[in-house]
Amino acid sequence: MNPELKAKAELFRSLHVPGRPLLLANAWDAASARVAERAGVAAVATTSSGVSWTLGTADGGHVEPSLALALTARVAAAVAVPVSADIEGGYATGPEGVADTVRAVLAAGAVGVNIEDSYAGGPQPLRAPADQASRIAAARRAADGAGVPLFVHARTDTFLRGPGDVDETLERAAVYLDAGADGIFVPGVTDPALVAELAARIDAPLGVLAGPGAPAVAELAAAGAARVSLGSAVAEAAYALVERAARELLGTGSYAALAGGIPWGELNALMLPEA
């Protein structure tokens, strides 16, 4: 058992408070993680989309797991705050593979995982609840075996890839919690009334995904959210800046899109080993 990792895991777990949510500006590399930490975040979570894109492939089960896990290790080494890794569906075809992934996540220095029930390349958009539960249970066993109270954030895509059925969401949440999940993540839900209903009926911290057009954090907090993350939106905004800057350079030959960047010296200093 790693006492330092255990302490970080306990800290990360304590940050999930309904009404006072953990706020996550998701990172995709060491620099974005360190910039977010400098801004004051209490923890860093990776986004599988940003990680996949920076590694040269698409999100949704296409990334090479060893590369994603190596990047997770770089992120965890770059910051002092707890780190949670988005491992998509577990980077494995079966439960034992998920357990291996979790052991690798812990070895990388992360103390939380997102594991989703979207079935990339599968016969249905979502895994059957029992199938997903077996994967969550494997993740829980692996973490418990390592003596680290890993926060397993079980993501259900009932509103992203399914019909948005509240009852199905609640049923899946109950099954996942019985299997050992610590929190439930329901992306696609930001309406405060619906957030409040899910928060009241799910016996665990509720995570939601926010971004442009979503209610402010204060509204989501008042509805009972315990975790508010930006997911891929930060990376999307960063890459949009690249496109705007390139189009401006090629079009008008000007550079206005680059205004407001972190100066080279400041960012470089932030990335020095002693930073």
Give me the residues of the chain with pLDDT under 50, please. none
The answer to whether residue 51 is domain-embedded is yes
Residue 260, domain member (yes or no): no
pLDDT number for residue 275: 56
**Domain carrying residue 218:** 3-234
Per the domain annotation, does 157 fall within a domain?
Answer: yes
Amino acid of residue 66: S
Structure tokens belonging to residue 245: 């800057």
35, part of any domain: yes
The residue among 205, 149, 187, 182 whose CA lies nearest residue 17 is 205
Per cent of the chain over pLDDT 90 is: 96
pLDDT in tens, 141-170: 999 999 999 999 999 999 999 899 999 999
Whether residue 34 is contained in a domain is answered as yes
Report how far residue 166's alpha carbon sits from residue 143's, in angstroms, rounded to the nearest whole number.
30
Whether 217 is in a domain gets the answer yes
Number of domains in the chain: 1
Measured distance CA(99)–CA(142) in Å, rounded: 5
- Does residue 215 sit within a domain? yes
pTM exceeding the 0.85 threshold for the entire prediction: yes
Residue 162 lies in a domain: yes
Q: Using CB atoms within 10 A of its CB, is residue 130 exposed (0-12), middle (13-18) or buried (19+)? A: exposed
Residue with tokens 């994967």: 135
Tell me the percentage of the chain whose pLDDT exceeds 70. 99
pLDDT at 228: 98
| CATH code for the domain in which residue 157 is found | 3.20.20.60
